[in-house]
Structure 1
Amino acid sequence: MSGSNPLWDLHRSGLAGATYTDLTHAFHPGQPHFASFPDEERELLFDFAKGHGFQVHRYSIPGQWGTHVDPPVHFIEGGRTLDEIPVSEMLLPLVILDISERVAADADATPTTDDVAAWEARNGRIPEKAFVALRTDWYKRWPDSDRFYNRSADGVVHTPGWSRNVLELLFVERGITAIGHEQIDTDPGLATSAGNYALEHYVLSLDRWQIELMNNLDKVPEAGALIMASWPKVKDGSGFPARVVAIHR
C-alpha cells in the first residue's frame, strides 16, 4: 500500500507515546454490588488440571456487574438496548469533573454548577458529545463492600453522587453523550437509602447511557483525554460489564 492513510498515521504518530489508563475494575465474586443482586457464581467447566487441553469458565452475573454500562432500557421501557447503542458513541472526548477533595471531607457531597464553571474557566467549554466522569476517588474503597456503601449506624448509605442541576447543564445545555462515576449509583446515598433513583432515571430517560463503578479517574487529566468504552453486543441487553480505557498524554 502506498500513500498516506490518515487513521494509520494518527495511530502511528498522533498516538505515539500516549498513555492508556484502564478505568475498569476486574470483577469477581464477593465484590461490591447492588444489594438486591445475587453474588457472582463462577464454575470451571474445563481446565488443564482436569486433563483438558483448554480452560473455560461459566459465569453467572447480573448485567449490572462490576464496571458496567447502563443503557436507556435499564430504567426506561422501550429505551435503547445494548445492541442499539452505535459504536460511534464508544469513542468520545473525556471530561473529568473532580470533587474528590470535597468528598474527602463530606461523603454525601455532590457536584455544583460552580464546579462546571470552574472546569470551563480552566479548559474552555465542555465539548458536545463528550463523556463526563465524576471523580470522587470513591474507587479507592474497592473491593470492600462495607466501605463502599459507607452506612451509618442507622443504616443510611453515605456516598457521593450527581446532582440534577449539573446533569441538566451537561446533557441539555452542553449536549454530552454519556456520564460515568466511581460509586455504585448515579444518585447519592442519601437518596438511594430512601429508594430514590430519580437521577439515574433522568439520565436514561434522555436516551443517554452511563458507566458505573469506574476506576483510576485520578490518573487521567481533567481535559484532553479520549475515552473508549465497549461491551458485548447483547441482543435486547439491559446492562453488561464494560471495558473502559482513557487515552491521554
Structure 2
Amino acid sequence: MAIAVALLAGVAAAPAPSLLFDLRPERIVDMSYPFDDKTIYWPTARSFQLTHDFSGMTEAGYFYASNSFCASEHGGTHLDAPSHFSESGLTADRIPPRALIAPAVVIDVRRSCAADPDHAATVEEVKTFEAARGPIPSGAVAILFTGWGARWPDKNRYLGDDTPGDASHLHFPGFSPEAAAYLANERHVAGLGIDTASIDPGVSKDFKAHQIAGATNVYNLENLAAVDRLPPKGAMLIALPMKIAGGTGGPARVLAILP
C-alpha cells in the first residue's frame, strides 16, 4: 500500500511535459497562397478552376454546399515530388510523412536577385550562409528567399512574362545546379523551397536543379508565401501536399512554426 501511494505521489509530482512546439497563433505562419482565379500557374499548365455544384437549402430543410475543382498538380503553392523529374523518384503519395516535417533554413539572396532577375544561387552563397549560421542540418528544407513573393499575384512581374501557353520568356531567380547538388548530396536536405514559380531560374531550359533533386529523392516546395516572416534558422516546417496516388506533385498547405 505504501509503495502504491509513493508511486502515485511520484506521478502526481512529475512535471507536466512541455509542448514540442509553441502553437500560439502568432507563432504559426501560413506559407500557402489561396487557390482562386488569381493563382499563378506555369504558362503551359491548366489553371485552377472552381465549379459551384450546389449551395442552398435542400428539400429536407438543411443548408448544403459543395464545389468541384480542376487544376494542374504544379501551380500555386505546391510540392514537386521527386518523380516530377525522375522516372525512379518517389511519387507524392510515397514521400515519408516524417520528411514533410522538417527544420526550415532560409537563405537570403534578395540582393543578388534584385541585381539580376535570372540569378541562380551559388554554392558560395550557401556556404556564406553556413559560415554565419552554421551547417544546414540533414533533413532540413533549404528555402531560397529571393524576394519574389512581393510580386504575387502580378503574373507578369512574378514570371517575367504572362503570355498564355508560352514558357520561353520567363525571368525569375532559382537554384544553380551546383547549389542544388551541394544541398542534396552534401547536406542531405529533405526538400528545397523557393518563393518563385520554380527551383530552377525562369531562363532554364533543362531544369537541372529539378533533375538533381529528383534523382536524390529531394522534394521541392514552390511559390512559397511569407518567407520574409521566417528567421534564417529555428523555424519548423510542415508541408502537407494533396496525397495523389502516383502524383508528380500537388497543391500544398505549408505551415511554419516560429521558434
TM-score of the superposed pair, with normalisation by structure 2: 0.85
The letter of the residue matching 1:105 is A
Distance apart, 1:217 and its partner CA: 0.6
Matched, 1:188 2:197: no
Verify the 8 A CA contact 1:22 1:244 in the aligned structure 2.
yes
Question: SS where residue 229 of structure 1 aligns?
Answer: strand
Distance apart, 1:100 and its partner CA: 0.9
- 1:11-44 CA-partner distances (Å, limit 9, x unpaired): 4xx5265711111111112422111112222111
Matched, 1:15 2:25: no
Verify the 8 A CA contact 1:31 1:144 in the aligned structure 2.
no
Distance in structure 2 (CA, Å) of the matches to 1:146 and 1:50: 43
Distance in structure 2 (CA, Å) of the matches to 1:70 and 1:89: 13
Matched, 1:118 2:128: yes
Matched, 1:66 2:76: yes
Question: SS where residue 220 of structure 2 aligns?
Answer: strand
Matched, 1:174 2:187: yes
Question: SS where residue 33 of structure 1 aligns?
Answer: coil
Matched, 1:26 2:34: yes
Distance in structure 2 (CA, Å) of the matches to 1:81 and 1:168: 20
Query: What is the aligned counterpart of 1:137 among 128, 142, 147?
Result: 147
- 1:119-168 CA-partner distances (Å, limit 9, x unpaired): 1122211111111000001111111111112149xx63221111011112
Judging changes above 3 Å, is the alpha-carbon distance between structure 1 residues 49 and 184 closer, same or farther for their aligned structure 2 residues?
Answer: farther
CA RMSD, Structure 1 to Structure 2 (Å) = 2.4
The letter of the residue matching 1:15 is D
Question: SS where residue 54 of structure 1 aligns?
Answer: strand
Verify the 8 A CA contact 2:181 2:209 in the aligned structure 1.
no
Matched, 1:219 2:226: no
Verify the 8 A CA contact 2:40 2:47 in the aligned structure 1.
no
TM-score of the superposed pair, with normalisation by structure 1: 0.88
Runs in 1 of length 4+ with deviation above 4 angstroms? 2-6, 49-52
The 10-residue stretch of structure 1 (90-99 or 196-205) with the greater mean CA deviation from structure 2: 196-205
Distance apart, 1:69 and its partner CA: 0.6
Distance in structure 1 (CA, Å) of the matches to 2:102 and 2:179: 20
Matched, 1:39 2:52: no
- 1:87-119 CA-partner distances (Å, limit 9, x unpaired): 111111110011012212221122122222221
Query: What is the aligned counterpart of 1:157 among 166, 170, 186?
Result: 170
Distance apart, 1:247 and its partner CA: 0.9
1:89-108 counterparts in 2 under 5 A?
Answer: 89-108=99-118
Larger radius of gyration: 2
